[in-house]
Structure 1
Amino acid sequence: MKRWLGKAETTLGNHSDRLNAINIFPVADGDTGTNLYLTVRAARLALAGDTTEGTEGGTDIGAVLAKAGQAAMEQARGNSGTLFAVFLCAVAEPLAGKSRLSASVLATALDRAQIRAWSALSDPVPGTMLSVLESAARAAGTMDTAQNGDDSNYALALALDAVVDAALAAVIRTEDELAPLHAAHVVDSGGVGMLLVLDCLRSAVLGEELEDELLEGLHGYKLQDPHIHAQMPPDDGVEVMCTINLSPLSAATLRQRLDEMGDSVIMSQVGSSAGHDDDDSTAETSYRWRVHVHVRDPEPAVALIRSLGEPAGIEISQLAAAREPAAPGASAGRHRHEL
C-alpha cells in the first residue's frame, strides 16, 4: 500500500502538466494534475515511517490506508483531490483488520469507493472520475464472481488487470459523455488521473512496471498538444474548502444551503469516529467533514459555514485559469489564501 501511494505520487507528478492541460470540467482552471499530485503526496507523507500493526498475521492494511486517507482528506486540493481522498478513505474500510489484498476484497473496496464518491457530490455528473471509478468497481466485481471468490494472488492479478482495462475504456468514453469535452476533443482530466492511480495499484501489488502505452491515443494527451484550458473563457468564481465538525442535521443543512449558493459541492466525512459538541452527554453527536464548493462570492459561504460550527483551515482560491503551464507541485497559477 505504501509502494502504491509512492508510485502514484511520482506518476501524477510526471503527468501533472498534461492533466492540467486538458482540465476544462467542471471549470477550466488547469489544476487537476497539480491537485491530485498534492493530495496523493499528503497521503504518502502521512505514512512516512509508519509501522502500523493490527492483526495477528501482520500489518493491518486497512489501518494504513485509513491513516493515509484521513491526511488526504484534511489536505485535499480541488474537486479531483477531494474525490481521491473520498476514494482512499472508502477503500480503507473493507480492508480494516486485513493483512493482504484479494480479488474479493478489492471488488468490495472499489464498490464502496464508487458509491461514496457519487454520494459525496451534490450534483454528480457522468463522464468524470465517478464514471471511471464505477467502471473499475464493476469490472472487479464481475471478475470476482467469475472466479467464485478465489482468494489466490493469480485471481487478484486478473482482477487488477480487468480494473485497469475497464478504467481506460471509461476514460475514452468521457469525451462523448460530457459536451464540453466533446467540443474540445479531449478526455476528462480527473478520469485520466484516476486511471493512473489504479494502474499504480496494479503495478505495486503485482510487482510489475506501469503500462507505458496506457495513455497512447487519448485525445489531448500528446506532449505537443496545446493547453486546452488556456483557450477557455476565464471563470471569475472562487473555490472554498475547509474542515468542520458538524452534526448530521447541520451537515445536511450546510449541503442544502451551499447547493443554493454555488456548485461543485462536495461533502464527505473525515474518519469514522463520532464525538460530541460539548461535554454534556446529551449533546448532539458530531462528525468531522471536508467541505468543498465553487461560488461567485466567498463571503456568504464562509459566513454560512461559520454560523454552523468552527471551521479549520478555510482556503479560498480563484478559479481563473492559469495561462502558463505549471510545474509539478506548483499551484497552477491560482491565487490561494487561508483564513
Structure 2
Amino acid sequence: MSKRFISINGNDFTAMVLAGADNLRRNVDRVNGLNVFPVPDGDTGTNMNLTITSGVEELKKKPSSHIGKAAEALSKGLLMGARGNSGVILSQLFRGFAKHVHDLESVNVQQFASALQQGVETAYKAVVKPVEGTILTVSKEAAKHAMQYKRSGDLLDLMQEVLDKANEALARTPEQLPVLKQVGVVDAGGQGLVCVYEGFVAALNGSDANDDYAMMDTKLDMGSFVPVMNLAKEAHAHLPAQAHLATEDIEFGYCTEFMLTIQPGKVKGQTFNEGKFRNQLSKLGDSLLVVADEELVKVHIHAEYPGEVMNQAMRYGALSRIKIENMRDQHSHILEDYTEAYATSESAFVETVAPAAFSKPYGFVAVALGDGITDILSSVGVDVVLSGGQTMNPSTEDIVNAVNRIDAQTIFVLPNNSNIILAAQQAVELVEEKVLVVIPSKSIPQGLAAILAFQENVDAQANAEAMKNSLQRIKSGQVTYAVRDTNMDGIEIKQGHFIGIQDGRIVSSQPNLIDACKKLLEEMIEEGNEIVTILTGEDAKEEETEELEAFIQTLYPDMEVELHPGGQPLYAYLFSVE
C-alpha cells in the first residue's frame, strides 16, 4: 500500500524532482523525436534534460527539508541551466512554484496546487507571444485542474490527477497547433513536462526512483564542511594549494563529464574513431580523459566551452550522465571558506578591489556554430562567440558568463536562433552593473545584418532600434536533410531527402542537394534584391558550390554573390538575400 501524503516537505519534493529528472533523461530520444521539423538537430528533449540536470545539481548542493529552500535551489539551477524555449519555460514554471512556497517548510494539497498555478502564471509572463498547444498549455490545464480538485487531501491523489490532466492536454495539442496535426505528433515540450510529472507520481508511490535520493543523502551526511573544520584546528595553517592560483587565471573553467553512447551513422560521414575523437577534444581543453569500449565512451575534460565538446560528441551518438561544474565558482568558494576559517586582522589573502571603469561603451556576444562563421563574426566586432545554434543551445548561464567576460558597459546579444532568444532574455535580469540588450536575431544572416547596422557613435537605444530594424531586411535560408517522412506546408518530405528552409518554413524537398538549394533560392530571390551571400558548411563540396554560383549568375545576372566558408555542421549551405 502506498504512503499517504497529507503534506510534503523539502526531502519529499527533492525525491520527486530526482525521479522526474531521471524519467525525462530516459525519454530524451522520445521527446526529441516529436520535434515538428524533420531536421537532424531537433533537440527539445536534450534541452529540457540539460535544464533539469542543472536544477538537480543545484538541489544536491543545497539539500533541505524546508520545501521553500529546496524549491529555491532547484529554481536557481534551472534558471542558470535553461536551454532552448522549452527549457526556459520549464525553469519559469518552477520559478513561480518556488516563489509561492518560499516561506513554507511543507505544503498541503491546496498549497501545492496554488504553487503549480503560480508557476504557470510566471511562465506565461516570460513568453512575449504565448502559443497554445505547447508546454504552456499542458502546464496550464494541469494546474487549473489541480486548483479545482477537492476530493482528497492526499498529495499522491492530486499529483495523479495532475498527470492525467496533463496527458489529456498533451493529446489535444495537435488540435490547437495546426503544424502538430499536420505532422501527426503531440508537442515535444509538453511531452517533456509529462515525463517530469510521471516521475513525481512514481516518487510519491514509493518506486525505485527514490534510490538516487537515498544515495544522495548518504553522501551528504559525511559533511561537506569537514575539510574546513579540520583545518580550523591548526591555527594559521599554510594556505591551501588553490589559494596560490587566482580564480581569473583558470584557463578552462568547466569540468565537463558525460557518457557517449555510440550510434553508428547518426550523422552522415561521421564514423567513431577513438584516436581521432580524442584529438578533436584535445583542442578544446585540458585534463582530457577518453575511455571507450565498443558502445560507450566516458569523457572527462576541463573546457572553456562545454557546448563545443558536446557538439563534437553528439556527432557520434547520444549523451547521458552529463555533469558540468564551474571550477572558477568552486575555486572562489574554497577561498571564501578558507577566509572564514582563518581571516584575522594580520593575515588576509582576499583583497577587495573597487570595480574599474569599463574600457569601452559597447560589446557583443553572438551564438554560432562553425569555425568560418565564428571568424566572420569576430572580424566584424563580436567579442565572444558562443558555440551553439539549432543544436546544443547555450544555457542562460553560458550567456551570462560570456557577458561577464566583456569589459563594456552595454552588451548586445545576438542569439541567431529562435530557440535561444528566451534564454538570452532571461540572462538580462541576472547580469549586474552592465546593460544587456538582446537583439532577437533568428539566423546567422540576421545576426550579421544586425551587427553591421551598429554605429559606434550612436547611443545604445538608437543602435538597438537600428539593429532590430535590420532583421526585417534579410531573408534567411538553409539546407539540410530530413530525418523522417512527413508532410509540411503542402510539401511531401521523404527521409534522406534534402529540404530547403526559408525563415523557419520548409519550401523545398528534393532527393538531390543542389536541386533543393536551387528551389530554395528561387523562392528567396525577388525583384529588387541585390546580394546573395552563401555560407558553405563542413560537408559542402567545391564542385557543388561552383554549380550554385553559376546557377545564380545565369538566372539572376544582376545579383552580386558573396561566398564564405562557414564550416557549420548538418547544414550544407546557409543563404541570405537582401
Distance of 1:72 and 1:51 partners within structure 2: 15
Higher relative contact order (CA 8 A, sep 6+): 1
Q: Within the alignment, does 1:10 sit opposite 2:22 as a pair?
A: yes
Q: Give the TM-score, by structure 2 length.
A: 0.39
Distance of 1:93 and 1:108 partners within structure 2: 11
Consecutive unaligned residues in structure 1, runs of 5 or more = 53-58, 211-235, 247-253, 279-285, 309-318, 326-332
* Offset, 1:18: 1.1
What does residue 133 of structure 1 align with? Answer: 139
Cα root mean square deviation, aligned: 4.3
* Offset, 1:320: 8.1
* Offset, 1:302: 7.6
Distance of 2:105 and 2:480 partners within structure 1: 44
- CA offset digits 1:85-111 (Å, max 9, x no partner): 111111111111212231111121111
Whether the 8 Å CA contact 1:140–1:159 is kept in 2: the answer is yes
- CA offset digits 1:64-90 (Å, max 9, x no partner): 121221121112111111111111111
The within-5 A match list for 1:265-304 is 265-266=421-422, 277=433, 294-297=442-445, 298-299=447-448
Whether the 8 Å CA contact 2:400–2:431 is kept in 1: the answer is no
Whether the 8 Å CA contact 1:60–1:96 is kept in 2: the answer is no
Q: 1:100–1:291: structure 2 CA closer, same or farther, 3 Å change rule? A: farther
Which residue identity lines up with residue 195 of structure 2 in the other structure? L
What does residue 37 of structure 1 align with? Answer: 49
Distance of 1:322 and 1:4 partners within structure 2: 39
Q: 1:266–1:96: structure 2 CA closer, same or farther, 3 Å change rule? A: same
Q: Give the TM-score, by structure 1 length.
A: 0.63
What does residue 93 of structure 1 align with? Answer: 99
For the pair shown, the structure with the greater C-alpha radius of gyration is: 2
What does residue 193 of structure 1 align with? Answer: 192
What does residue 113 of structure 2 align with? Answer: 107
Distance of 1:37 and 1:31 partners within structure 2: 10
Q: 1:29–1:178: structure 2 CA closer, same or farther, 3 Å change rule? A: farther
Identity percentage of aligned residues: 25
What does residue 181 of structure 1 align with? Answer: 180
Distance of 1:277 and 1:141 partners within structure 2: 40
Which residue identity lines up with residue 294 of structure 1 in the other structure? K
Match of 2:78 among 61, 64, 72: 72
- CA offset digits 1:138-197 (Å, max 9, x no partner): 011110xx35xx7x4x2x233212111110000000112111110111111111111111
**When the two structures are aligned, how many residues end up with a matched partner?**
262
Distance of 1:33 and 1:276 partners within structure 2: 31
* Offset, 1:323: 6.5
What does residue 88 of structure 2 align with? Answer: 82
Secondary structure, aligned partner of 1:6: helix
Secondary structure, aligned partner of 1:187: coil
Which residue identity lines up with residue 57 of structure 2 in the other structure? L
Whether the 8 Å CA contact 1:78–1:292 is kept in 2: the answer is no
Distance of 1:238 and 1:44 partners within structure 2: 25
Q: 1:68–1:177: structure 2 CA closer, same or farther, 3 Å change rule? A: same
Distance of 2:76 and 2:159 partners within structure 1: 25
* Offset, 1:44: 0.5
Q: 1:71–1:24: structure 2 CA closer, same or farther, 3 Å change rule? A: same
Q: 1:26–1:266: structure 2 CA closer, same or farther, 3 Å change rule? A: farther
Distance of 2:426 and 2:181 partners within structure 1: 33
The structure with the largest strand share of the pair is 2
- CA offset digits 1:32-67 (Å, max 9, x no partner): 111111111111111224244xxxxxx321221212
Whether the 8 Å CA contact 1:62–1:92 is kept in 2: the answer is yes
* Offset, 1:132: 0.2
Whether the 8 Å CA contact 1:269–1:289 is kept in 2: the answer is no
Secondary structure, aligned partner of 2:442: strand
Q: 1:275–1:262: structure 2 CA closer, same or farther, 3 Å change rule? A: closer
Distance of 1:118 and 1:8 partners within structure 2: 22
